Amino acid sequence: MSSKPRMEDSLRERIIAQPDVILEDQDLMRALIAANERAMGGNIIDLRGIAMDRLESRLDRLEDTHRSVIAAAYENLAGTNQVHRAILRMLDPVEFESFLKDLGTDVAAILRVDTIKLVLETVQDGGDPAVKRLGDVLSLAEPGFIQSYLSDGRGNSARQVTLRQIHEGDMRIYGRAAEYIRSEACLMLDFGEGRLPGMLVMGAEDPHQFTPQQGTDLLAFFAGVFERAMRRWLS
């Protein structure tokens, strides 16, 4: 009598009827290959099995890359939709004061940032009552402040969008919220010939919300739309 265990007839018939079930099950295929290697003995090297292991590893890496690419595509699409909605909301107001107030409330909420501040360089003081009413969003600074802030005093920064992590926000920009800010996006603004520059700053309590490794295309587009809206108000 044979000492080998006999497969149940029902299981055998099921496998014969649906062989794809085994071929598509990676754990079963690994178990069958391992059993085959044991049956061949330790003196035989199965080059085909080694090649299959390498191909399987490459396939796993390709699948991981494929999933990462798809996830990045969905993330980019979500980010694009988010910026588009923020721009449409930003363009709704018909008065400048409402325009700036919405920037710090509705627009900030759509972009999921904790605060948005507009910094304008000016040679005038900030005693204007309108400036005081918009103090939650608008900050005035002396000429040259923006370049110094972006470059940390190390020359001029030519980048339109600067993403960085910070230990703490600047009181001159964020006010009392400065101690909670851990990352920021700084958008340089050009209001046209003969006008001093401005800067739009998005601050976040999450230190990973804005990092130098992230793309800046969408924020550069947002800055471009904001510049044009501001030129209309300043004209």
Give pLDDT tens digits along the chain (235 positions): 445 556 677 777 777 787 777 777 777 777 777 776 666 665 666 666 667 777 777 877 888 787 877 776 777 788 889 999 999 999 998 888 888 889 989 999 999 999 999 999 887 655 555 555 566 888 888 998 999 998 876 656 667 899 999 999 999 899 888 999 999 999 999 988 888 889 999 999 999 999 998 889 999 999 999 999 988 887 7
Rounded Cα distance, 32 and 22, in Å: 10
Tokens standing for residue 59: 């396939």
Rounded Cα distance, 179 and 209, in Å: 16
Residue 175 is classified by DSSP as: G
Tokens standing for residue 9: 């007839």
The end-to-end CA distance of the chain, in Å, is 101
Rounded Cα distance, 173 and 81, in Å: 28
Q: With left for phi above 0 and alpha for psi between -120 and 50, is residue 192 left, alpha or beta?
A: left
Rounded Cα distance, 161 and 223, in Å: 8
Rounded Cα distance, 216 and 32, in Å: 51
CB-based contact 205:171 (threshold 8 Å)? no
Rounded Cα distance, 60 and 45, in Å: 24
Half-sphere exposure of 31 (CA within 13 A, CB side): 7
Fold of 95-234: Beta-Lactamase (3.30.450)
pLDDT at 1: 45
Domain residue ranges of the chain, discontinuous segments joined by +: 95-234
Task: For residue 203, give the 3-state DSSP assignment.
Answer: strand
pLDDT at 125: 58
pLDDT at 181: 95
Rounded Cα distance, 230 and 34, in Å: 70
Q: What type of residue is 199?
A: M
Rounded Cα distance, 202 and 157, in Å: 18
Choose among 115, 82, 123, 107: nearest CA to 204: 115
Q: What type of residue is 117?
A: K
Helix (H) or strand (E) holding 188: strand 183-189
